[in-house]
Amino acid sequence: MDQIINDLSHHIRLNKGFFLWMGFLALAFLACLYAYVQQLRYGLGVAGIRDYISWGLYISNFVFFVASSLIGMLISAVLGLIGLKWVQPITRIAETIAVAFAAVAGLVIVMDMGRPERLAYVFLYARFQSPILWDVTVITTYFVISLLLLFLPMIPDMAVLYKRFGNLPGWLKPVYKVLSLNWTDHPEQNRIIHRSMYILLILIIPAALSIHTVTSWLFALTVRPGWDSTIFGPYFVSGAFVAGSAAVIIAMFFFRKNYKLQDYLTDLHFNNMGKVLVLVAFVYLYFNINEYLVPGYKLKRADAIHLRELMSGHFAITFWLVQVGGLLIPIALMLFRKMRRPLPLTLISVVVLIAAWFKRYLIVVPTLAHPFLPIQHVPDNFRVYTPTLTEIAITLLSFILVLIIITLISKFFPVIPVVETAKEKGLDPLKSNES
């Protein structure tokens, strides 16, 4: 038992590497924060977006963040409820990613607002008919459920570590004590946690489907070519699973390496996650074919312009890199067992994740670049969208925030559930030296 505790918790300390990494993040954060202050002072004009192409990096990034956060639901709820035992060590990683991305997604949308100080109006004057109200509602809900899904299984862990992990930093002890809610492995307590988890795992499925479906509706509820699609909901959800699975694989790789968890995050886990990624990527591919072939066959005027711009026009290079390099080739590679080993799978996941980001860009920007009526008598930067440095910095700001949240959660709490792992092996977490 001590072995497990030590293995899974030894990284919970303030070491030099952590300070270096956090220092770097903090500096980068401040630099990018300056960019946002500029935007607050001078308006959204510091970004490259203008009339016509009025949504750009920020909204693409928002969609990407919502997408990435969706994985928490897939791993914990779907795979967990089916009863797949191997996902158990990954659940907390998935939930951490879900919480981090969902929290920051809310901030990303504020970054895109022309009048962020009026954020409260969204609740004060909320219109039931606006998808933005639905989106704000479901993202908040999903965030809270994910936070609970992250927190509940951690209660026993914190109680155990508080009592039995000698190296727990002193300043963390009171935090652990409060958050462990007097857990003593009492059957009644376990029953409450178990029942709550069960309800949450069921609740999170509609909540998760909603956040990404509603996010897709921000586009699909308009009449514009490229957005005016009935399959946008499932198209986005399947795409989200691809992005999220890739993110989880990358996180698994880093935790395994940095926190020395090779015994707990084994090649089997990577292999299985690789299989999950291939499966969701196939589903996504299927929706992609639907999304492009159906309008491409009929070539209605506006659709034809849109598809031409994507496939052979201004956005062609990005489009084919994303579709072939970021979807088709990864699928083909991951069919081989060799490619599902940790390192190659992680590299593939990095490519998939980057492609997933650009895919969101390709969903948001090209449609706006080609409205129904011609763009005339405006400056050139109204016609062609070029993100500015400030805009890129603000976008990076959101990524830095995600990294900070993931780092803090994973650094100060066990990445892999301690008590669950112990109970899996038939050990009593509160008593020592039974094995």
Contact positions with other proteins (CB under 8 A) in 165-184 = 181-184
Coil, helix or strand at residue 84: coil
Q: Which residues contact 356 (CB under 8 A, 6 or more apart)?
A: 64, 67, 68, 239, 242, 243, 246, 326
Q: Of 55-114, which residues contact other proteins (CB under 8 A)?
A: 55, 109, 112-114
CA trace torsion 205, 206, 212, 217 (10° rounding)? 160
135 close to 218: Cβ distance less than 8 angstroms = yes
What Cα–Cα distance (Å) separates residue 11 from each residue in 46, 101, 150, 266?
42, 23, 19, 18
Interface with other proteins: number of residues (CB under 8 A): 77
> Does residue 71 contact residue 97 with C-beta atoms inside 8 Å?
yes
**Which CB, 192 or 329, lies closer to other proteins?**
192
CA distance 129 to 121: 15
Encoded tokens for 217: 């509706």
Instruction: Give the nearest distance from C-beta 136 to other proteins in angstroms.
Output: 8
Q: Which of 17, 22, 23 is nearest to 260 (CA)?
A: 17
> At CA 307, angle to CA 305 and CA 312, rounded to 5?
95
First-to-last alpha carbon distance for the chain, in angstroms, is 7
Tell me if 17 contacts other proteins by CB under 8 A: no
- Least distance in angstroms from the C-beta of 66 to other proteins: 15
Query: Which residue is it, tokens 């699975």?
Result: 245
Specify the stretch interacting with other proteins by CB under 8 A; choose among 218-226, 262-270, 287-295, 352-360: 218-226
Q: Is 298 in the site for other proteins (CB under 8 A)?
A: no
Query: Which residue, 344 or 371, is less far from other proteins as judged by CB?
Result: 371
Query: Which one among 22, 78, 152, 328 touches other proteins, defined by CB under 8 A?
Result: 152
**Burial class, 22, CB count within 10 angstroms (exposed 0-12 / middle 13-18 / buried 19+):** middle
Side-chain-facing half-sphere of 308: CA atoms under 13 Å: 8
Per CB under 8 A, which region of 19-27, 130-138, 241-249, 411-419 contacts other proteins? Answer: 130-138
Give the separation between CA 435 and CA 432, rounded to whole angstroms. Answer: 8
Q: Site map for other proteins, 332-371, x if CB under 8 A?
A: ------------------------------------x--x
Six token digits for residue 430:
């509160």
From the list 223, 268, 298, 317, which residue makes contact with other proteins (rule: CB under 8 A)?
A: 223
Q: Which of 22, 28, 107, 144 forms a contact with other proteins (CB under 8 A)? A: 144
Shortest spacing between CB 423 and other proteins, in angstroms: 18
Q: For tokens 């897709």, name the residue.
A: 216
In angstroms, the CA 40 to CA 36 distance is 6
Q: Give me the amino acid identity at 215.
A: T
The residue range among 21-29, 127-135, 232-240, 412-420 that interacts with other proteins, by the rule CB under 8 A, is: 127-135
Q: Which of 122, 242, 276, 401 binds other proteins (CB under 8 A)?
A: 122
CB nearer to other proteins: pick between 186 and 425? 186
Query: Binding segment for other proteins among 40-48, 91-99, 385-393, 397-405 (CB under 8 A)?
Result: 40-48
- Spatial distance between the Cα atoms of 43 and 359, rounded to a whole number of angstroms: 27
Q: From the list 18, 21, 29, 130, which residue makes contact with other proteins (rule: CB under 8 A)?
A: 130
Among 16, 82, 83, 128, interactor with other proteins by CB under 8 A: 128
Answer for which of 52, 282, 320, 399 binds other proteins (CB under 8 A) is: 52
Residues 368-427 that bind other proteins (CB under 8 A): 368, 371-382
Residue with Cβ nearer other proteins (99 or 278): 99
Least separation, in Å, of the C-beta of 73 and other proteins?
A: 14
Supply the minimum distance, in Å, between the C-beta of residue 378 and other proteins. Answer: 5
Tokens 């004009």 map to which residue? 45
Asked if 38 and 393 count as a contact pair (C-beta separation under 8 A), the reply is no
At its nearest, how many Å lie between other proteins and the CB of residue 224?
7
Supply the minimum distance, in Å, between the C-beta of residue 338 and other proteins: 44
360: its two tokens: 């969101």
Question: Binding to other proteins (CB under 8 A): which residues in 184-203?
Answer: 184, 186, 188-189, 192-193, 195-196, 199-200, 203
CB 194 within 8 A of CB 420: no
Report the alpha-carbon distance of residue 78 to residue 245 in Å, rounded: 13
Check binding of 133 to other proteins (CB under 8 A). yes
Among the residue ranges 29-37, 131-139, 259-267, 329-337, the one whose residues contact other proteins (CB under 8 A): 131-139
